[in-house]
Amino acid sequence: MTLAAIPPILLVGCGRMGSAMLSGWRERGLAPSVAVDPAPAARAWTGPDLTVVPGPAAIPSGFTPEAVVFAVKPQNAAATLPDYAGYAGLSVFLSIMAGRTIGGIRPLLGENAAIVRAMPNTPAAVRQGITVACPGQGVAPAQRALCEDLLRAIGKVAWVDDEALLDPVTAVSGSGPAYVFLLAELMEAAAREQGIPPDLARLLARQTVAGSGALLAASDDDAASLRVAVTSPGGTTERALAVLMAADAWPAAMSRAIEAATQRSRELAG
């Protein structure tokens, strides 16, 4: 299926996630758009399809985007978002600011603002992200469809109607890449402890994590079934899993980690 080109967008913030989205849009074909970012490095994104300006006052006169995408740090929201309130009623606002609720964003943009809140994750940089989005009151079907298109350019998209679910979503998928990277980091360190040369230890850890993820993505089996399939009775994997799956080991630690991250997401929204 051929995906539609991306209509004019106003991107606020060209940091890691903003630039990942921009790259995905360009691969789809991006109508002439504008990005706002005061960092000198952001000028590198300038091209025939994009004008980069340092602040909202420099947005070309007459430019009306179909969506305004906020990819700024959540702590900067109060100072940044009111400058874009004039687009309420003309554009849909798509926020990827962690912890910033629709109810907290709306007073900064106006009561008639159509707002979609989304939580992507860093594999978006290689178009393998997963984003969960929640539409606010007043978002039209066409605006929701546009936001889905914008997010599909960096990976898969799921929707929830209960915004409170974005807190555990943040804990699982938003923070989740760090857990996977930690796994690779610990596997590499343990391999070196067993005498494996550093370069080989890194290769083994990285490729095992990456290859297992690819197998999981390609398989119709759930993760538990794939784990059982590689665990021979009385073998090395069974011995290792007896340590990792002990009641006070990975199962409890992961549960506590997700709970802690969920609570922090709620605190950031407060």
pTM (two decimals)? 0.92
Q: pLDDT at position 1, please?
A: 47
Residue 235 φ then ψ, to 5°? -95, -170
pLDDT tens-place values along the chain, 270 residues long: 456 789 999 999 999 999 999 999 999 999 999 999 999 999 999 999 999 999 999 999 999 999 999 999 988 999 999 999 999 999 999 999 988 999 999 999 999 999 999 999 999 999 999 999 999 999 999 999 999 999 999 999 999 999 999 999 999 999 999 999 999 999 999 999 999 999 999 999 999 999 999 999 999 999 999 999 999 999 999 999 999 999 999 999 999 999 999 999 888 876
Distance CA 52, CA 144 (A): 26
Asked if residues 70 and 93 have their Cβ atoms less than 8 Å apart, the reply is yes
- Domains in the chain, CATH or no CATH each: 9-163 (3.40.50.720), 176-269 (1.10.3730.10)
pLDDT at 2: 55
One-letter amino acid at 85 equals: A
pLDDT the model gives residue 99: 84
Is the separation of the CB atoms in 125 and 179 below 8 Å?
no
Helical (H) or strand (E) element with 52: strand 50-53
- Between CA 36 and CA 12 the distance in angstroms is 5
